[in-house]
Structure 1
């Protein structure tokens, strides 16, 4: 369905429809990467001086991600992968999430939106560095890698079309936590690094289930996700390996690493959701339900990490 061309100034209802289309292009309903900022603030001990820089950095992150997913939609629209993955043969998918496919936005509008949001996001990141209490060189480098890789995810170098999709999904999330913590404290502890990796694994471990569902369409356009390359059995082994790796990181950090001894116990509910996700997706083949479990696991993991940091802060002050 295509939107009718306006013969004059847009009516309020038309403006709302256009704004809604752009919001769906930006995937504003998927906010899980943005949880990196409250996690970083908790790692900084909830310092008031870190709040404004993190808010600026967080708003910039929303815009950077909006630009990245807009470019991803343009590329998916051009190569036909979105039409294959969101077409009438996949009725469970929400076609409305793809305003290019519905005709609500044109390619030119989506590309313009991508550059404007990515550029504005980059500007806010620079402002965050300017007002932050700390700005070590490594945070600038990590932020630059996050920015470049997000814009180039499906555009320009198209790193997700060159076998780097899964690396980006975990690396971008971990990078946001590391940069946010560095801007707030000037450094990252060993336990902070563990939390950054656990946070990054969250988007990866719900993304791989979407990739499993989209494997045929991705393979057809030459997008070499693990699901498209390894086939069903290899992909199941990959997902199971990621789940085991996440649980092992929690156990190792609590037993041998920098986490408190009770960290593993605190993480039991979140890890239980993760195991349930594995059973639902790999064991029963219910990919959409497994993706939903992945969102819950990521959010519960982040909430648990913030609670753990608060407990450690209170304990240190008592």
Structure 2
């Protein structure tokens, strides 16, 4: 079956170009930004409602959005140059929405995308510097972690191209962990064990649904020289890897509860997440990778709701 893709000429309409830039920035994918809601819920009740808290979280959100815009902009440029986006999206346009790749769809030129990405990278670094400057606390580890997250994001598919060098899965979980721990530490001066557990559970969500994308993209990524676990091992071995990573999240929930790092009721609260994880794992094993990915995305968003509930209840009972 073939698909006929209707696209605008690059820059042919001001409205169309603005929409294309929004698609380049992937503004519809907000999953990393949800960590700030978890951070807010983890704060002490009095600190939660301070105007300064809302101001810092709003500035952090803006910094995250701009850095991600740079990251995915450079990623699209690299994917367009090496042909992996055309290979991964062109054959499945109806399900994967080719328009989300404006360079492949022809709604932006590479020069436009480059200007946008470099501008976003500079603005994102400046905004994160402003976040640190405005924070009531500046623990050294949090400042360093913030800088690492910015640098790694910009070089995800550009410069060092860490997602091409075998570090994609580490980055996907690491960014979510960093963007939970950093704002919490800047607001409070440190992080408890329960905060770290929540950060890891949050950060593992984008990694898990990213693994399904890697499964679907393995042939195109392999042809482009992009190293992921999916390109290095057989399909059955990668399914086992996904199962192990999914199981690790479930084990963390049980272990944190058993060890007392999380409240004794924490595992019970997280049971809906466990059910969704098992569901997308089984669907993925049966071969419907994109459906499994959609469920994994929803599972991540359910995780946020459950973590917020757990944090609010823990704060109210402490």
TM-score range, shorter-chain basis?
over 0.9
1:122 and 1:72 map into 2 onto residues whose CA distance is 18
Structure-2 residue corresponding to 1:277: 280
2:231 and 2:191 map into 1 onto residues whose CA distance is 36
Q: 1:231 to 1:258 in 2, by over 3 A?
A: same
Q: CA deviation at 1:117?
A: 1.1
Q: Tell me the alpha carbon deviations over residues 28-79 of structure 1, each in whole angstroms, 9 at most, x when there is no partner.
A: 1110000011111112232423221111011110000010000000000000
Structure-2 residue corresponding to 1:3: 9
1:90 and 1:313 map into 2 onto residues whose CA distance is 46
2:203 and 2:11 map into 1 onto residues whose CA distance is 43
Structure-1 residue corresponding to 2:214: 211
Q: How does 1:224-303 map to 2 (within 5 A)?
A: 224-282=227-285, 284-303=286-305
Q: CA deviation at 1:90?
A: 5.3
Q: How does 1:164-203 map to 2 (within 5 A)?
A: 164-203=167-206
Q: How does 1:40-119 map to 2 (within 5 A)?
A: 40-45=39-44, 46-48=48-50, 49-88=52-91, 91-119=94-122
Q: CA deviation at 1:264?
A: 0.2
2:210 and 2:160 map into 1 onto residues whose CA distance is 21
Contact 1:132 1:183 in 2 (8 A): yes
Contact 1:173 1:203 in 2 (8 A): yes
Runs of 4+ in 1 over 4 A off after TM superposition: none
1:223 partner SS: coil
Q: CA deviation at 1:130?
A: 1.5
How many residue pairs get matched?
308
Q: CA deviation at 1:220?
A: 0.6
Structure-1 residue corresponding to 2:130: 127
Q: Tell me the alpha carbon deviations over residues 75-107 of structure 1, each in whole angstroms, 9 at most, x when there is no partner.
A: 000000001011145542211011001111111
1:122 and 1:289 map into 2 onto residues whose CA distance is 36
Contact 1:41 1:180 in 2 (8 A): no
Structure-2 residue corresponding to 1:306: 308
Contact 2:11 2:17 in 1 (8 A): no
Contact 2:8 2:107 in 1 (8 A): yes
1:95 and 1:216 map into 2 onto residues whose CA distance is 18
2:198 and 2:10 map into 1 onto residues whose CA distance is 49
2:307 and 2:236 map into 1 onto residues whose CA distance is 33
Unpaired runs of 5+ residues, structure 2, are 1-6
Q: Tell me the alpha carbon deviations over residues 215-237 of structure 1, each in whole angstroms, 9 at most, x when there is no partner.
A: 00001111111111112011011
The TM-score with structure 1 as length reference comes to: 0.94
Q: 1:313 to 1:236 in 2, by over 3 A?
A: same
Contact 2:24 2:73 in 1 (8 A): yes
